[in-house]
């Protein structure tokens, strides 16, 4: 299957700072990427859908000014958590799909801890 990477895998930051998380498709062109958030011992909740070259579509209740998503190329999407606060601490997971695939491929996730 195709490979999706995320960087960093783990980040700790101070409250009020911004953090950027990268999601890369390593061996395919990702036309669509999804960003999910996973709270401890809970399911994945969709945050937004990102299509290359277009503005992301955010789910209801997700602040687009706080969670900035950019999908500038067919292999990279970024999620920037702006002015992070402790309640933003979570596990963020991206998934991607491309022209020739009929499934999504998930990244390994990024654990964000805001102090």
Partner 1 sequence: GNSVTQMEGPVTLSEEAFLTINCTYTATGYPSLFWYVQYPGEGLQLLLKATKADDKGSNKGFEATYRKETTSFHLEKGSVQVSDSAVYFCALGFSENTPLVFGKGTRLSVIA
Say if CB 91 and CB 80 are below 8 A apart: no
56 binds partner 1 per the rule CB under 8 A: no
60 binds partner 1 per the rule CB under 8 A: no
- Which segments within the chain are labelled E, that is strand? 4-7, 10-13, 19-25, 30-38, 44-51, 57-58, 67-73, 76-81, 90-98, 105-106, 110-114
29 binds partner 1 per the rule CB under 8 A: no
70 binds partner 1 per the rule CB under 8 A: no
Number of residues counted as binding partner 1 (CB under 8 A): 23
97 binds partner 1 per the rule CB under 8 A: yes
Interface residues toward partner 1, by CB under 8 A: 1, 6, 31-32, 34, 36, 41-44, 46, 49, 93, 95, 97, 101-104, 106-109
């Amino acid at each position: 299957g195709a490979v999706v990477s995320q960087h960093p895998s783990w980040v700790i930051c101070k409250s009020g700072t911004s953090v950027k998380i990268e999601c890369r498709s390593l061996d395919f062109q990702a036309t669509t990427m999804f960003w999910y958030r996973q709270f401890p011992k809970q399911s994945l909740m969709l945050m937004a859908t990102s299509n290359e070259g277009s503005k992301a579509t955010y789910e209801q209740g997700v602040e687009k000014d706080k969670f900035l998503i950019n999908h500038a190329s067919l292999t990279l999407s970024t999620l920037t958590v702006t002015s992070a606060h402790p309640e933003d601490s979570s596990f963020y997971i991206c998934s991607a799909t491309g022209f020739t695939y009929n499934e999504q491929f998930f990244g390994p996730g990024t654990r964000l801890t805001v102090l």
